[in-house]
Each structure stands twice: as C-alpha cells, then as structure tokens.
A and B are shown apart, each in its own frame.
Chain A
C-alpha cells in the first residue's frame, strides 16, 4: 500500500462517481417512475462487473490492495460507480411517501438482483 495507490483510488472514485451521477440523470430524464431505476441499474451492473473482474483476475476480495486493478478499477471506479447510501435514501423516501410495499420491493430487488448479477459475473468469468 503506497501513496500512488491512494491516488488511483481517488481518480477511480471520481470517475466512477461522475459515471453514476450521469447515468442517474440520463435515466431519470427518460423514465419517470417511483422505483428509482437509475440507482438500481448502476448498482446491478456494477455488481456484475466487480464479480467478473475479480474472478477473471483472481483477486481475493480480502486482499484488494496494492495493484492498479484493485485500487483504480475495483475500489475506485466500481466503488465510486455503485452506491449503498443512495439506495437506502431512495428506500426511505418511498416509505415516507407512504409507498411501503414499493420501498420493500425496491431494497429487496436491488440486493437480490445484485447477488444474482454477482453470480452471473463469477459464472461468466469461470467459463
């Protein structure tokens, strides 16, 4: 772990976050619905990519430090691109609007689809 890794994490996190924000704006501009599709899509696609790359490059998820793939791409870009906090805020807002069923569907389907996307990424990289 060196200073250069911190710089890679910063650059990747910045790029990933701008991508997430851009995808969110683009999706929200086209599709207006209570289910926050932008956050959902960002998170599920990011989950697929991290699983695919981690498996393809044989990175043990306990030791994701010290090389550019881990710092820049996994921790940086994919960590910045996907978001846990916005998913939670989306869920709280749906519940505040009285849409409790939708809130539950949103958080359960986000996590469920995320896990399935990971399984698909691992499977595809293992072929």
Chain B
C-alpha cells in the first residue's frame, strides 16, 4: 500500500510538471483557444489508452499502469483547468464559439486518441 502511494505520488508529480511545461512552452493562440491544456489532455489520453491496452494484454505490470496511467497521465491531464478554461472562454464576450469548440474538440479528440492508444497496443502485440 505504501509503495503504491509513493508510485502514484511520484508519477502524479512528474505528470503535473510536464503539464506546467506545456503551459509555459506552448504560446497563446490568437483565437485564445487553450492549446496548452488541450495538447496535454489529448496526448495524456493517448498514452493512457496505450498503457491500459498493454496492461490488458499483460505486456506491462499493474505497477507500471499505476505509475504511468494513474500517476503520470492522471497528473499530466486535468479536468479542472479544462472546464474552468472552457467556462472562462464561453462567458467572455466574443469567445463563446472558441469555448464551445474547445469543449467539443477536447471531448472528441481525447476519446479518439484513447481508442487509438488501445488499438495501437493491440497492433504492437500482434506484430510481436
């Protein structure tokens, strides 16, 4: 139990740092679309799908899924900044459409990349 807590803590801390770097390095877009959080969220969705897919095929351990999936990808992706950013856009004058696009594209691209991650794990396993 204690070692699992440490695994989630280290992974989550590392994931949050990766997200902070996305926020610092991805420039603000002219349309005010929050590309930094969008990118962090959909990339984390893909890697979580990939890791989960590999766990399901017994290619990685439970501890690996806990470290990379629950920890790093859970820490790298964020729901609170996502909905808070979407609300801020949708309630600021002239940005309603950008906010709506942000919500819908995050939901759709995140879903498709999660599915792609799981599928990529199956392909990799089939070739091996």
The interface of chain A, by Cβ under 8 A from chain B, is 1, 5-6, 9-18, 20-21, 42-43, 46-47, 49-51, 54, 61-62, 64-65, 71, 74-76, 78-89, 91-92, 107, 110-111, 114-115, 117-119, 122
- The B interface is mostly helix, strand or loop, or mixed, namely helix
Decide if B121 is an interface residue (CB 8 Å cutoff).
Answer: no
- In the assembled complex, the CB of A77 is this many whole angstroms from the nearest CB of chain B, namely 9
Report yes or no: A79 in contact with B75, Cβ–Cβ below 8 A.
Answer: yes
Given contacts A43-B79, A79-B78, A92-B114, are A18 and B5 in contact (CB under 8 A)? yes
Q: Which residues of B contact A122 (CB under 8 A)?
A: 87
Secondary structure of the A side of the interface? Answer: helix
Q: Is the CB of B84 within 8 A of A9?
A: no
A12: which of B5, B16, B103 is its contact (CB, 8 Å)? B16
Interface of chain B residues 63 through 117 with chain A (CB within 8 A) = 69-71, 73-88, 90, 103, 106-107, 110-111, 113-115
Residues of chain B with a CB closer than 8 A to A1's CB: 24
**B118 in contact with A92 (CB, 8 Å):** yes
Find out whether the CB atom of A17 lies under 8 angstroms from the CB atom of B8: yes
Closest to A93 in B: B52
Residues on A with C-beta less than 8 A from B14 are 10, 13
Chain B residues whose C-beta falls within 8 Å of the C-beta of A89 in the assembled complex: 45, 48-49, 52, 114
- If A80-B74, A84-B45, A84-B78 touch, does A14 touch B28 (CB 8 Å cutoff)? no
* CA A90 to CA B87, docked complex, whole Å: 23
Q: Which residues of B contact A62 (CB under 8 A)?
A: 28
Known contacts A47-B83, A114-B79, A122-B87; is-contact A75 B45 (Cβ 8 Å): no
Cβ–Cβ < 8 Å partners of B70 in chain A: 17, 20-21, 86
Contacts of B74 in A (CB 8 A): 17, 20-21, 80, 83, 85-86
Expressed in whole angstroms, the Cα–Cα distance for A10 and B8 within the complex equals 12
User: Cα distance A6–B86 when bound, in Å?
Assistant: 25
Set of chain B residues within 8 Å of A17, measured between Cβ atoms: 8-9, 11-13, 15-16, 70-71, 74-75
A-contact bits for B15-32, CB 8 A (1 contact / 0 none) = 111011001100010000
Closest to B86 in A: A115
Given A51-B84, A54-B84, A85-B45; A13-B79 close (CB under 8 Å): no
